[in-house]
Every structure is written in structure tokens, then in C-alpha cells.
Amino acid sequence: MKDHRVARAKEFDTEAALDQAMGLFWRRGYEATSIQDLVDTLGLNRSSLYATFGDKGQLFEAVMTRYQARVSTALLSALKPPAAGRAAVEAYLMAVVDAMTALDGERGCLMLNASMSCVTAPAPLIERATEAVRSSEVGLLAALRRDPELRRRRDLPAVARFFAAQGHGLAVLARTGVSRADLKAAARIALSAL
């Protein structure tokens, strides 16, 4: 006799649930987001949450992956070849402003928020967030070195670090509610360093 039972399909969209979890972690941070907050926001029971995403750390890791695929990749694409020099730096800073102010609420940068405030997250996740924050400096330096006039500067690593700091500062200001127009004005002033 055949078993005609059909495996019960998940009654929720995991992609949408990840987006909701990302929004919650992004707004509140890792420490301030409880399992109950996740259950309430995602509309799942605890067993479904754990069965699908694992524990809070595993869910945060999935959120970080999603964030990097969507936001970090978009930011760093402004610095990829053939982008070079001042134009690349300007495109990067404007992309930071757009990304940090595009969504509802003041969020800033998920990775920057995590690298600065996470103390209870698993160490590999904190390291991953910190490495993601530092990747902007690497991308900026490569873009600056592609500019024939700028590549001769001996202080180019410091210049890249300066603009990485400007990008991070814009993200912090976005989190505090500074307007997009004011952030873009600040970015244009920073560009005068070139």
C-alpha cells in the first residue's frame, strides 16, 4: 500500500523572512534583538525559526550574507575597473549615502553597526563584519591607484583610509537621521581633499 501523505510545505517565504530579520537586526543590532523579537517580526513559531535558520547567530550570519550580496556588493561595484581616481571615490561616497538612506528608518551600515557594537555575537561573525568594513579601504586604494596622476602619491594608502573613514562616517550620520542632501553635501566637501 502506498503512502499518500505529502510532505508539508513551508508556509512562509524564507527569502522574505530573511529580509524581515535583516531589517530587525539592522535597526536594533544583534544584542538588542531577541529570539522573541525575531519570532514576532517574522511571524514564525520558535520551532520553525530554529528548523529553518538555526540559532540567532546562524540567522545573523545568513542576514550578513544577504546584506553583503545586496548592499556591500553595490557599494564596492562603484570602485571596480574601469572606475578610477576622484570619479570612483565620488561614486562610492554617493552610493554609500544612497544605500544608507534608501530604506525606511535610519539604519546606517549593518556591518559597521555590528563591528562596533556586537559583543555577544560569535567571534567569527564579529570578525566577518570587521573585515567587511575594512574592504572599502582596499577597494578605494585600488581605484585610486588606477588614476595615472594619483598613483604617484606616496600617501595613497592614507588617502584611501581617509575616504573609507568618510564613508563610514556618512553611514553613522545616516543612522542618526541626517538627511540625504546633507550627507551628499558632506561627501562633496570630503572630495576636495583630492
Decide if 163 contacts 93 (C-beta within 8 A).
yes
Whether residue 26 is contained in a domain is answered as no
- Alpha carbon distance 31, 89 (integer Å): 33
Strands (E), 89-173: none
Residue 96 C-alpha cell reads as 554609500
Would residue 21 count as lying in a domain?
no
Q: Residue 150: give the domain boundaries.
A: 61-191
> Where residue 101 sits, what CATH number does that domain have?
1.10.357.10
pTM of the full structure: 0.83
Position 36 scores a pLDDT of 95
Domain assignment present for 9: no
Q: How many domains does the chain have?
A: 1
User: Is residue 169 in a domain?
Assistant: yes
SS3 state of residue 106 = coil
pLDDT in tens, the chain (194 residues): 444 444 344 567 899 999 999 989 988 889 899 999 999 999 988 999 999 999 999 999 999 999 898 888 888 899 999 999 999 999 999 999 998 887 666 578 888 888 888 788 888 988 999 998 899 999 999 999 999 999 999 999 999 999 999 999 999 999 898 999 999 999 999 999 99
> Is residue 174 one of the residues assigned to a domain?
yes
78 in any annotated domain = yes
In whole angstroms, give the CA distance from residue 187 to residue 89.
10
